[in-house]
Amino acid sequence: MRNGATVLAGLLLVASAASAEAAGDCGSQAEVRAGDTISSIASRCAVTEGLILRANPSIDSSADLQVGGTVSLTGPMDKLKSLATDAGQELSQAAGNVGSSVRSSVDGFLSDNPQLQSNIRDIGTRLGLSEGEQPAEVTLEPAAPAPGGTVTVSATGLPKDTPVVIGGGSPGAAFAELDTTRTTPEGTLQAAIKLPVDLQGDRYQISVRGEDGAWKAEAPAFDIGR
């Protein structure tokens, strides 16, 4: 048990260091501004890009940032989880006399961890797959609408009968919410969206994503006409 106590003490030290690292210039979280990227937030808040990615598991790239939303700066949780896993393994070995009572099958493990099952399903959706069916696709009509104009956003292969957010922004940067709607029971979508008059940058990209940010599908980016 001495080894287990040592590992747990180490975890507390790591958690304390994580909190100190998160202090930065923005406190425990930062608000996303128009045109922000993970790099710009890291620079503004005096933290690393890696810390932002680790503290926000739902953010894979700058395109997952939402203008007006916030990102957590609470520290390297992945490292803490890794240490917790190591501690659990060490304590488990010390208590080998009860190991026979622990279910070790994959099915049993997943059954006891429904959140893990959900995360596994999200991986397929993030890769552009919808419930194991057709790849998600988003198209625009017209393909290169003008600022302030109306564009018809059509999509197929999305999760069925699901609330979604339609967003837009510079490719690879934070997006702004343009509309919210719901997919059909067939996993399709069609919506008329009025674009902002003051589009920033030279190119613009419209995306459709889940309300929880677990998945997204993007239309081809287009040049902004002036």
pLDDT of residue 45: 93
- 133 pLDDT higher than 80: no
Tokens 């919210």 belong to 180
**How far apart (Å, rounded) are the C-alpha atoms in residues 128 and 124?**
7
**How far apart (Å, rounded) are the C-alpha atoms in residues 122 and 112?**
18
Q: CATH assignment of 137-223?
A: 2.60.40.230
- 10 pLDDT higher than 80: no
Q: Show the DSSP H helices in the chain as ranges.
A: 2-22, 38-45, 49-55, 77-94, 106-112, 114-126
pTM attached to this predicted model: 0.64
Q: CATH assignment of 2-72?
A: 3.10.350.10
Residues of the chain with CATH 2.60.40.230: 137-223
Residues of the chain with CATH 3.10.350.10: 2-72
Which residue type is seen at 114?
P
Per-residue pLDDT reduced to its tens digit, 170-215: 999 999 999 999 999 999 999 999 999 998 889 999 999 999 888 9
Q: Show the DSSP H helices in 95-207 as ranges.
A: 106-112, 114-126
pLDDT of residue 31: 95
Whether the CB-CB separation of 171 and 198 falls below 8 Å is answered with no
- 29 pLDDT higher than 60: yes
Per-residue pLDDT reduced to its tens digit, 52-78: 999 999 899 999 999 999 999 986 544
Backbone angles phi, psi at 214, to 5 degrees: -75, -20
pLDDT of residue 162: 94
Q: What is the average per-residue pLDDT within 15-43?
A: 75
Q: What is the dihedral of CA 167, 171, 173, 178, to 10 degrees?
A: -10
- 83 pLDDT higher than 70: no
Whether the CB-CB separation of 165 and 189 falls below 8 Å is answered with no
